[in-house]
Structure 1
Amino acid sequence: MPETRFGYLLPTRDQALAGEHDLKALARYARRAEALGYDSVWAGDSPISRPRADPLIVLAAAAETTGRVALGTAVLLAALRHPVLLGHQLAGLDRLSDGRLVAGMGAGFPSPATEAEFGAIGVTFKRRVSRLEESVAVMRRLWAGGPVTHSGDHFAFADVAVAPPPARPGGPPVWLAGGGEPALRRVARIADGWLPYPPEPGVYAAERRVIEQNTDRPVTPALYLTLCLDADPERARRRLRAFIENYYDAPLEAIGAIQAMFAGTPEDAAAWLNGYVAAGARHIVVRFATGDHESALEEFAGRVRPLVDGEARS
């Protein structure tokens, strides 16, 4: 079985909810995650509906404090930006990090808050999916080098080039979020990786098969999830509820019905994770439901990760 990789979601939204805006602390968390053996560090995006520090600024700081971990967006709402400007930023971040960037992107979950976010920036919400697809195509052409002329449904420009180019030829890998037939076919068609959050391993396995049946390219099967670790499972559940309901302003049951999340002991968490590993997940991005990220990073690295299938090391 291929080695399972683990990533850590930086608590940008947590900071904003607490009224704290210490971006340097986020960079320190990234450095600590690298020291503990995590494979990647991630930052979320939502400038208006769930405000937080800009993920590209946060990851630029993380790039300077780390040297090994991949740096990813989980996930970037690419349709909110013009692809020439976003492609320029991502190329620079890939170069700054010596080719460690993963451009995780999503169209935006359909909700009144997300629709209002798009409206505030002047982007038509109903056309966000086609805008995302066109943006990915534009950025890849820009990353390939040379002047680009483009005329599409959303963007048109002539003889545009960006500098510096990304560190890797062709630019950073693009991972797409999403579930359901249209999103899965989109992943199969244009993505290098898949970063969903289905609440059941069986759903994950079935959707992964859809991707595999519709592409002959390698697509990294990743997973985004939320963990709350505690020796007392009931206390863990209460802590998870407080975290989720504060984060989304919605009941835990509503969010838990669509997102992968677990509350309980480290041993039970590992057993739960093994269900997703058996379903094919190979790069797992963990959001910790906690106010103490130092302890959570250490507890997961020391007590959960060694129990996950594929993680045994000589």
Structure 2
Amino acid sequence: MASTSSDVRFGLMLAAQFEQGIDPVPKMRDSIEQVVASREGDFDSIWTVQHFLADFQYFQPVPLLARLAAEAGDMHLGTGILLVPHYPPVLLAEELATLSVLTQGRFILGAGAGYREQEFSAIGVPHKERYGRLEESIELMRKLWSGDPVDHVGKFYEVSDVQMSLLPPQRQDLPVWIGATGPVGIRRAARIGNEWIATGELTISDIRTGQERFIEASPKDPADHCFPLVREVLVAESSQEARRHAEGALRQKYANYEKWGHPSRPIDELLDGVIAVGSPQECLESIAGVLEQTRSRYLILRMQWPSSEHAATMRSIELFGEHVAPELKKAFGTKENGGDH
């Protein structure tokens, strides 16, 4: 059943990752330019990704978003996703409170458990503990963000009579959106998070099934959720030009997902029916199909991958803002002033 919610929003997922051996300084300038362009193009938020010790160079999310907060203006900033089990929760609670203050309360914590064995081994966190640590960390951080004295004795973490001084403007209501793929993870997202972030390789059928699972496990009314969804998108003047810019980079990216053990469909299948790569009209039709057939009203669009050309990404942001977003917002509605994330 599709959503009857009256708002639709769009976020830009920065690549924030690039091939080894490339000078990272110009890549930071690229990210800044993309944020400015998306702000001018009426995007609602900026997101960034995370891995450690990856095959690509990565800008880590917390310092990156802090750097971009000024250019983002009144857009929200989010992590998509932050690998919470790798952090001591007191440290992370303080870091994210600072980021929330820098963004004047417009920070969204997109959180996940992680899956790469190499990351857990190098950081010293047992892989088998990732889900328990994710849940307990979020529980403890919310206690700390309340500003009240905290005593917490859990399976993984223990603090006694501690109290945070610098608090996020949202306090313990700082939004937590959970990234997950399987049925258990989606139900966990409903239990401990405000939203479930659906990943970019899911078909419409996958999304609908996941959203129904989330609704069954969530105590909130479905109308109170925006059902965020990551989607791979590249808009160009023609389908041929879009494929030329996107296909090689997408194949490289999804080959790395496969190597890392992240479940996904074959890239040819994704290019044929899931990923929106094409002209403005083709991308409009593809995204409208998602909005019509699912409850999703918050699409986080990734328009760049590690080997992508910055110029193609900038043009995609421009074309989406000029020709795609206005038509989608006209068709599906939008709330004034950005609403409450």
Going from structure 1 to structure 2, the CA distance change for 1:66 and 1:107 (only over 3 Å counts) comes to same
Going from structure 1 to structure 2, the CA distance change for 1:102 and 1:146 (only over 3 Å counts) comes to same
How far apart, in 2, do the equivalents of 1:17 and 1:297 lie?
A: 27
Going from structure 1 to structure 2, the CA distance change for 1:77 and 1:237 (only over 3 Å counts) comes to same
Structure with the larger RCO, 1 or 2 (CA within 8 Å, 6+ apart): 2
Q: How many residues align?
A: 310
Name the counterpart of 2:101. 95
Name the counterpart of 1:170. 172
Name the counterpart of 2:315. 295
Question: C-alpha displacement at 1:236, in angstroms?
Answer: 3.0
Which residue identity is paired with 2:177?
Answer: W
Name the counterpart of 2:52. 47
What TM-score comes out, normalization by structure 1 length? 0.90
How far apart, in 2, do the equivalents of 1:313 and 1:82 lie?
A: 37
How far apart, in 1, do the equivalents of 2:22 and 2:267 lie?
A: 21
Name the counterpart of 1:310. 332
How far apart, in 2, do the equivalents of 1:255 and 1:73 lie?
A: 25
Which residue identity is paired with 1:306?
Answer: P
Question: C-alpha displacement at 1:214, in angstroms?
Answer: 1.8
Does the alignment pair 1:57 with 2:63? Answer: yes
Going from structure 1 to structure 2, the CA distance change for 1:256 and 1:41 (only over 3 Å counts) comes to farther
How far apart, in 2, do the equivalents of 1:17 and 1:187 lie?
A: 37
Listed as ranges, the matches of 1:78-89 within 5 Å are: 78-89=84-95
Question: C-alpha displacement at 1:139, in angstroms?
Answer: 0.6
Give ranges in structure 2 of 5+ residues lacking alignment: 259-263, 337-341
Q: Which moved more, 1:223-232 or 1:273-282?
A: 223-232
How far apart, in 2, do the equivalents of 1:11 and 1:17 lie?
A: 17
- Is the 2:198–2:228 Cα contact (8 Å) retained in structure 1? yes
| Residue number among 11, 18, 36 corresponding to 1:31 in the alignment | 36
Going from structure 1 to structure 2, the CA distance change for 1:213 and 1:17 (only over 3 Å counts) comes to farther
Going from structure 1 to structure 2, the CA distance change for 1:229 and 1:17 (only over 3 Å counts) comes to farther
Which residue identity is paired with 1:216?
Answer: P
C-alpha distance after superposition, 1:79-138 (max 9, x if no partner): 111111111111111111110000001112x4xxx1101111111112211111111111
Which residue identity is paired with 2:298?
Answer: H
| Residue number among 177, 201, 204 corresponding to 2:204 in the alignment | 201
SS of residue in 2 equivalent to 1:242: helix
Query: What root-mean-square deviation, in Å, do the aligned CA atoms of Structure 1 and Structure 2 show?
Result: 2.5
C-alpha distance after superposition, 1:195-230 (max 9, x if no partner): 112521122112111111222223331001111223
Question: C-alpha displacement at 1:17, in angstroms?
Answer: 7.3
- Is the 1:225–1:284 Cα contact (8 Å) retained in structure 2? yes
Question: C-alpha displacement at 1:253, in angstroms?
Answer: 5.8
Name the counterpart of 2:261. none
